[in-house]
Amino acid sequence: MSEAVRSRRDEWLALQALIADLLSRHGRNARQDGDYCLIDRDFGTYEQKVLVFFKDALSPELVEATENLLSNYSREWHVSFVEANKDGTEMVPPGGLKVSAYGLELLQRAKVSPEEDRETRELYAALDELLGMRGKSDAFGNGDYWIVDDSWVPLSHKVCVFNIAFLTPALAAEVQRLLNEKFPRCVVWFQIEVVEPGVELPLPGVRVFSDRIEQDWDREKMRSMFNERFKW
């Protein structure tokens, strides 16, 4: 974040423009026939609301990009992605996802089909077994990784990486093979949560799909921070 002190409203105006651009790159930002609708009203708080008209529009890529964007602003900010009807009214009971620089919080568990729920749970078990053979799992950051066990987006799982040397191209390839063979609709998102001097969190990571691996980080920046421990 810039050393210059910015007022809450100045930050809100800047975030409005950046989030609008972000939404337009991931779908259609419009109240009429859109995927999302950015609410342009200033509520006088550190919340920015986005209406979401389709469950599938709230992708792991969009969530990660929003989380990274917010890391450059006051830590009080969060974006509420709220499930909405086609007429622009919020669903009752409310549902969606709150995203901040610190992570994610479910406004209410998303409605998923029994098949999606089963597949998401089976992916968790298979991923837990695979990663458990390669490193140590610890929810408090004292191991190599932790699989977040709240299914915040169906057919996906987020893995927090605490040891940068744990996340290698070979490991990502193993996860991709698992997805390709058993979970072709799913995605696994690795986010870097390495806590050490000189590392500002959160850091972008990689997203593993059944047919590709997408690197969201700046490789040169990662190499400068972690040196030979960064294997990519």
pLDDT digits (tens, 9 = 90+) for 111-160: 678 898 899 999 999 999 999 999 999 988 899 999 987 555 678 888 98
Q: For residue range 78-116, what is the model confidence (pLDDT) as tens digits? A: 999 998 888 888 887 778 889 998 778 877 655 678 898
Distance between CA 108 and CA 118 in Å, rounded? 19
Question: CA dist 179 to 123, 151, 160, 190, 206, Å?
Answer: 8, 17, 18, 14, 15
Distance CA 45, CA 72 (A): 17
Cut 0.75: pTM above it: no
Q: Tokens 């009971």 correspond to what residue?
A: 93
The rounded distance, in Å, linking the Cα atoms of 139 and 173 is 24
Q: What's the confidence (pLDDT) of residue 227?
A: 93
Whether 53 contacts 86, CB under 8 Å = yes
Q: How confident is the model at residue 3 (pLDDT cuts 50, 70, 90)?
A: very low
Does residue 85 contact residue 77 with C-beta atoms inside 8 Å?
A: no
